[in-house]
Amino acid sequence: MDNLTSISLFILQGAVISLKIYVVTFIFAIPLGMLCAVGKLTKFAPLKWLLEVYTWLFRGTPLLLQLFFVYFGLPFIGVRFTAEIAAYITFIINYGAYFTEIFRAGIQSIDKGQYEAAKALGMNYKLTMRRIIIPQAVKVILPPTGNEAVNLIKDTALCSAITLADILRNAKSMVSSHASVEGYFIAAILYLIMTFIIINVFKYIERRFTYYN
């Protein structure tokens, strides 16, 4: 029992790293995605083209490859980050690209008549977006955002590949040192608990926004 307790505590230490990456990514990737989504809907062609390239590049290449590039590749040109900072940068940019497309699709799903009605009431574009369009788009974007939130907590396991002591890396370390698979089972249970919580949080938020139906 003491052996199992020590394994569990060590893997729980890794959960702190996983949750830090999760929270920081969410805090910064959401506003990044919203800004880029609005940028893709402007009539300024160079900005739209730049954002198209951004979303195509980061949605079209593996997150693990992006992690390797930032952590192992950039030092060849003199740019070095700690493993944790490299993870933050990569995850924020990657998930920002996904959120960009989710938010853009959500905003574009709102009937154009809403814009015309707001214009008739004397609202400018910024006010229309803030008071009319975005509150309605939230209901549309919540389900795919919830899916990405679940994917994000699982994707944090990729950080073990760049030496971060997250859940998976600590689990692998315990499996190797104790010659036992308990570490993997404990890691799986932790991921299942976290995904269960995230899914139910988003279900609750979706219910709160049902008045937009």
Which residue ranges make up each domain of the chain? 2-212
**Per-residue model confidence as pLDDT tens digits over 12-61:** 999 999 999 999 999 999 999 999 998 998 888 999 999 999 999 999 99
Among residues 67, 58, 61, 59, which one has the least CA distance to residue 88?
67
Fold category of 2-212 in CATH: MetI-like fold (1.10.3720)
State how far the Cα of 206 lies from the Cα of 190, in Å rounded to an integer: 24
- At 106, the amino acid letter reads G
Can you give the pLDDT at residue 130?
A: 72
179 φ, ψ (degrees, to nearest 5): 50, 50
Report the 10 Å Cβ neighbour count for 181: 11
Q: What percent of the chain has pLDDT over 90?
A: 63
In 3-state terms the chain splits into helix, strand, coil percentages (rounded to 5) of 85, 0, 15
Q: Which two tokens stand for residue 169?
A: 């890396």
Residue 210 pLDDT level (bands cut at 50, 70, 90) = low
pLDDT of 120 over the 80 cut: no
Going by the DSSP 8-state scheme, the letter that residue 212 receives in this structure is G
The mean pLDDT value of the chain amounts to: 89
Looking only at Cα atoms, what is the longest distance across the chain?
A: 71
Q: Which two tokens stand for residue 124?
A: 């400018």
Can you give the pLDDT at residue 103?
A: 92
